[in-house]
Structure 1
C-alpha cells in the first residue's frame, strides 16, 4: 500500500479552507467596495436630479420653455443613471451588511422608486420638446406619471428613517415631502389635461361655462346662477356673452331628455328650469341640459361645457390677485364667497345681483387671461377644487369626452365610479328656493359590520344635519335668502333633499330620521339604487338621518363616500364598525 501522511493531508486541507475563506473575504470585500462605488454614484445622481428638479420648477414659474425642457431632460437623465446604479445585484449583499445595511437599502429604494417613473416621462419630454406642447400627449403622459409618483411615495413611506444615518434619512424625508407636495398638483394637471386638449384645437372652440351657486344646493354643487360663453382660438380666449338664470323662461316641458330615474326622484322640475341643470349625477346629462338652455336663448351649440363653483373662483383669485370691480371695490380671495354669495342677496335686488355677478365674472376673466402661464401654480391652486368635485367638464369630441368622463372632472357619477365598487354617493338638493345653504352644517359618518348569517355586510350612512340660521331668520333675513316659503319650506327653515346612491346590487334595509322610519322616494339611477329623503330644519335644529343598506355580496365591506361639494365643508368622521348586538 502506498505510504500515507495524515499530518500532511490535514495541513493541506486547512490551507485549502483558509485559502477559500480568504478568497471569499476578498470577494465580499470587493463586493462591498464595488457597492460603495455604486452607492456613491447613486447618491451623486440623486443629488444632481434634485438640482435639476429645482431648475425645472424655476423655469416653469418663469414660463421659460427652453430652460424647462433642458432641466427636465437633465432630471430624467440623472434619475436613469441613479436607477441603473441601484439595479446592480451587489446591492443585495450591501443590504445585509451590519450597521449600514439599512442605509444601503434605503438609497436603493429611493433610486428605484423614482426610476420606475422614467418610462412615463418620455411622452412628456417629447411633447415639451415640440414647438408647442401637444395637450393630448401631455394628458396621456401625466396620468400614469401621477400614478407612479403615488407608488413611489408609498415605497418611501415604508422606510424607517429613525434607523438611518442622518444624511440618508434627510434625503428620504426630503423626497417624501417633495412627492407629497407635488402629487396633488400632478394629479390635478393630469385631470385638467383633457380639458386643455379640448380648448387647444386648430379651430375656434366655443366653451359654455356654468357658474354654480352652492348657497342653493344641487347634486353637482349648486343652482346654475349664470352662464358664460367663451371662445378659445389659437391660445387666446374671449368672453362673448353672459346670461343670468333669470334671463331664461321656465318651460312646461323639459328642454332636453331627462332620465326617468331623475323624474322619479325629483319630479318634473329637472329639465324645466335652467337653475336645475346640475341636478343629475351624470354630468353628460347636465351638459346636455345646459347646452339646450343656451341654444334656446339663441346661443351657439357649445363644443365644451364646464361647471365651476365659487370656491374655484377663490382659487383663481389666489393666483391672479385681487380684482377691482366697477363700483370701485376690490374683490379678494378672502371675501369673494361673502361678496358674491351672501351680501348680494341681502342688499341688492335681482337686477343688482345680476349686474354684480356679471361684472365680477368679466373682470376675473380679464385678469385671468392676462396672468402669466405658471402651470405649477395653477395646478397647485386648483388641486383642492378638483379633488372636491367643484370643476366638471364635458366635450363634444368623443375621445376627449371619454377622457374627461374617466377622470376627476367627469362629474358626480364619474367621481363615484372612480372611488371604487364600494362607494356611496350622497347628493344634496335644496328645497327652500332661497340661499340658505350657508347656514347648513353637515356631519357625515359611514359604518359597517358583518352580522348576518349569509355573510353580507350591513352598511350605514349617517348624516347629522344642523341649521345655524339665526333664531329670527324668518324676519331678519330677506326673502331672496329665505325663499319666502314658496316651495313648502317654512320661512327661515332649510329644506334639503338628501339622496344616497348605493353600489349596484345593494339592498336598502331602512331609512330613519330622528330615529323614526322615514318616507322616501326610490329609483335606480345609472345602475345604482338611489333613495331620497326630505329633511326640514328650523333655526338651531339638528336632525340625524340614517340610510341602512345590505351589501350585494358576502364579505367584508370597506365603504367610502363621495358627496356634493357644499359651501361649508362637510365634517367627515372615520369609518366605524357597527355593533352586532
Structure 2
C-alpha cells in the first residue's frame, strides 16, 4: 500500500509540476504578445501585412505566439485534469486551490485560442487584395467584425472564484484578471479607433490639410507652410490645390483664443497667422482654430483637420511605391521612401525652383502620393498601421469637429493631446530659416529623491548646430532686415510639464514663455546657437510625491530627439513612460 501511495504521490507531483511549468510559460508568452498590454498601436500594427510597419513579428508571428501560449495552457489544463490529480480536488482546502488553478488555466486556454483564431481571420483579411479603394472600407468593416467577435469571446471568460485562496494562487488569479482586463481594453480601443477610420474612409468627408515642414519646427510638429483640403469618399482621396500660408494672413481675427493660448502666445497672433498656429503642442486646440480660420477666409466649413509632415509622406510612399512629380521647370523627379525626406527637408533648397514653387513642393508630392494611393493596391491594414505609427510620433495628427469621430482619433493616439503627466520638449524655430534638419538635440532627465513630499526633476538639453557653411540664404537665413547672422539657430526651447509642477528654473537667461497651457504647463527660454557650436540649457521643476511617472511625448523632430533617464536610453518614437521612483 505504501508503494502505491508513493507512486501516486510521484505522479501527482509530476503532473502538478508540469502543469505549473506549462502554465507559467503560457502566461509569459501571452503577456509578451501584441494583444496584451492595452497597446492599440501594437494590436493594429500586428494586422499589417503591407511591409510599411515593422510590428513585433507581424500578424503571422502574433498568431504563432498565441497558438504557442494556447498549447501551454492546454497542456497545463490536461495535467490538472489527470486521474492522478483528481482525488485531491475533493479535499476541502487543497481541492479549492487546485480547482482555482484549473479554472484560471482553462480560461487562459480559452482566451489564447479565441485570440489566435481572431488573428488568423485578420491574417486572411490582411492578405486579401484591395485593388479598389472601396475595398479598403469593406476591409476595415470586416476587421471590426472580427474584433467584436473576439470581444464577445472575452466577455464569456470565467476565471472562477477568488475567495479563500493561498497567496500564490490568489496572485495567479489576480494576474490573469489583469491580463483579461488589458486585453479587453486593447480590443475595445481598437474597435473604437477602427470605427472612426471606417467612417472617415466611407465619407463623404472633407478635412483641412495642414502641410507641416520639419525643416522649420514649431511645438510638436513642423510649421504649417501650406494648406489645402482632402475629400474622402468610399476610400478614395481627392486633394485640392495647396496654398502657401505666407499668402493667407488674415486681416482680422479668424477664431477665438482660449485663455491659455492668449496668455502664452497671443502676441504672435495665432488667430491670424497660420505659421504661428502651433506654438503650443495642443493640436486639438490649434486644429479647432485652423478650421475656424479656414472658414473665416471664405473657403468653407470642414469636417476636421489633418496635419501631415515629410515623415508621413515618406511612410505613404512605403505603401504606394515611387511617384513621379514634374516641377515648375519641367524636370521630372522621382520620389520614393528612401529619398523624399532628404529631397524635401534639404535638397530642394539647392535647386533652381522659385521660392513660391518650393513652398508648393510638399503639397505637390502629397497630391501625387494620394493619386497613387487611389490607383494602386494598398491594403487597409497598411493604412491603419501607418496612422497609428505616425500618430505616436506626431508626424500625423487628426482632429474632428464630430465628438464621436474625435474619440476615435483619441483612441488611436493621433489626436495630438497631451496627457496630464506629459513631458514634451520642443525647439521652436524663430529665425525664419530652415535649419532644423541640421540641429541635433539630446536630453537627459534626472530626478532627486523625495523630500518634504516633493521631488526635484531636471532636464538637461544639449543642442548642436551642424549647419554647413555652404547653405543658401533661404536655408541659413537670416530674414532680411532682422539683423540676424547666417547659419545661427534662433528659437525658443520649450518644455511642457505636468500642471502640478512648481518652482521652475532655467539655466538660460530668463523665460520666453511660462504658465499654464491646457492640461499642462509650459516653460521656455530663448536660445541662440551659432553655426558649429553647441548650447546646453537645464530646466528644473518640482513635482508632488504622488506624481510617480512622466510620459515623454515625441516632438516630431527630424532627426528625432534622443533621451536618457537613469538606465533608460531611447530616441523619440512613441510616448515613453519614465517611472520617477527608479531614480531614488
Q: Using structure 1 for the length normalisation, give the TM-score.
A: 0.69
* Structure-1 residue corresponding to 2:376: 371
Change (3 A) 1:499 1:33: closer
Please give the residue correspondences for 1:40-119 in structure 2 after superposition, counting only pairs within 5 Å.
Answer: 82=71, 85-86=74-75, 88=77, 90-91=79-80, 112=108, 115-116=111-112, 118=114
Question: For residues 217-241 of structure 1, what are the alpha-carbon distances to aligned partners after superposition, in whole Å with 9 as ceiling and x for unaligned?
Answer: 1113111122231211223222234
The whole-number CA distance in structure 1 between the counterparts of 2:269 and 2:113 is 49
Deviations 1:257-283 (A, max 9, x none): 122322333323322211222333222
Given the alignment, which residue of 500, 503, 509 partners 1:505? Answer: 500
The aligned residue for residue 178 of structure 1 is none
Q: How does 1:79-478 map to 2 (within 5 A)?
A: 82=71, 85-86=74-75, 88=77, 90-91=79-80, 112=108, 115-116=111-112, 118=114, 132-133=138-139, 135=141, 138=144, 141=147, 193=194, 195-201=196-202, 203-248=203-248, 250-266=249-265, 267-326=267-326, 327-347=331-351, 348-378=353-383, 384-411=389-416, 414=417, 416-417=418-419, 422-450=421-449, 452=451, 454-470=452-468, 472=469, 476-478=471-473
The answer on whether the counterparts of 1:86 and 1:111 sit within 8 Å (CA) in structure 2 is no
For residues 436 and 75 of structure 1, do their structure 2 counterparts lie closer, same or farther at Cα, with a shift above 3 Å needed? closer
Change (3 A) 1:23 1:75: closer
Q: Secondary structure at the match of 2:246?
A: helix
Offset at 1:570? 1.2
Q: Find the residue that maps to 2:521 and give its secondary structure.
A: strand
Checking the alignment, whether the CA contact within 8 Å between 2:49 and 2:382 is kept in structure 1 is: no
1:534 counterpart (526, 535, 538): 526
Aligned-partner SS, 1:219: coil
Contact 2:217 2:223 in 1 (8 A): yes
* Backbone CA RMSD of aligned residues: 4.8
C-alpha separation between the residues in 2 aligned to 1:505 and 1:324? 51
- In 1, the alpha carbon distance for the partners of 2:212 and 2:191 equals 24
- Cα deviation digits, residues 51-85 of structure 1 (max 9, x gap): xxxxxx999669xxxxxxxx99x999978974772
Asked if the contact 2:206–2:229 (Cα under 8 Å) also holds between the matched residues in 1, the reply is yes
Between the aligned partners of 1:316 and 1:505, the Cα distance in structure 2 is 39
Q: 1:117, 1:483 → 2: CA distance?
A: 63
Query: For the structure 1 residues 135 and 393, does the alpha-carbon distance in structure 2 shift closer, same or farther, using more than 3 Å as the test?
Result: farther
Q: What CA distance in whole angstroms lies between the structure 2 residues aligned with 1:205 and 1:120?
A: 35
Deviations 1:317-346 (A, max 9, x none): 122111111122211222212322323334
Partner of 2:157: none
Q: Secondary structure at the match of 1:495?
A: strand
Q: Matches of 2:47 and 2:410 in 1, distance apart? A: 33
Mapped to 2, the partners of 1:534 and 1:568 lie a distance apart of: 21
Q: Alignment partner of 1:539: what SS?
A: coil
- Residues 28-47 of structure 1 aligned to structure 2 (within 5 Å): none
Deviation at 1:242, TM superposition (A): 2.5
CA distance in 1, matches of 2:456, 2:485: 35
- What secondary structure is seen at the aligned counterpart in 1 of 2:477? helix
Separation in 2, partners of 1:439, 1:541: 12
Distance (whole Å) between structure 2 residues aligned to residue 92 and residue 257 of structure 1: 67
Deviation (angstroms), 1:495: 1.0
C-alpha distance in 2, partners of 1:456/1:511?
A: 19
Whether 1:544 aligns to 2:532 is no
Count how many residue pairs are aligned between Structure 1 and Structure 2.
Answer: 475
Which moved further from structure 2: 399-408 or 18-27? Answer: 18-27
What displacement does 1:381 show? 5.3
| Structure 1: distance between partners of 2:66 and 2:463 | 54
Residue 394 (structure 1) shift: 0.9
Whole-Å separation in 2 of the counterparts to 1:58 and 1:571: 29
Shift of 1:502: 1.4
The verdict on how the C-alpha distance between 1:480 and 1:114 changes in structure 2, with shifts beyond 3 A counting, is: farther
Label 1:194 to 1:253 Cα distance change in 2 as closer, same or farther (>3 A): farther
Aligned to 1:54: none
1:480 CA drift (Å): 5.4
Task: Assess if the C-alpha contact under 8 Å between 1:448 and 1:559 holds in 2.
Answer: no
Counterpart Cα distance in 1 of 2:557 and 2:325: 26
| In 1: Cα distance, 2:472 partner to 2:306 partner | 32
Superposed counterparts of 1:549-568, under 5 Å? 549-551=541-543, 553-554=544-545, 557-568=548-559
Contact 1:76 1:121 in 2 (8 A): no
Distance 1:195 1:210, change over 3 A: farther
Greater Rg by CA: 1
Distance in 2 between the 1:137 and 1:506 partners?
Answer: 43
User: For residues 400 and 140 of structure 1, what CA distance do their matches in structure 2 show?
Assistant: 21
SS at match of 1:216: strand
SS at 2:404's partner residue?
helix
CA deviation map 1:362-389 (0-9, x unaligned)? 2111112222132444455566533212
Q: CA deviation at 1:21?
A: 3.5
Structure 2 partner of 1:569: 560
CA apart distance, 1:392: 0.7
SS in 2 for 1:325: strand
CA distance in 2, matches of 1:78, 1:443: 42
Q: What is the Cα deviation at residue 433 of structure 1?
A: 1.4
Residues 32, 342 of structure 1: alpha-carbon distance in 2 compared, 3 angstrom cutoff: closer
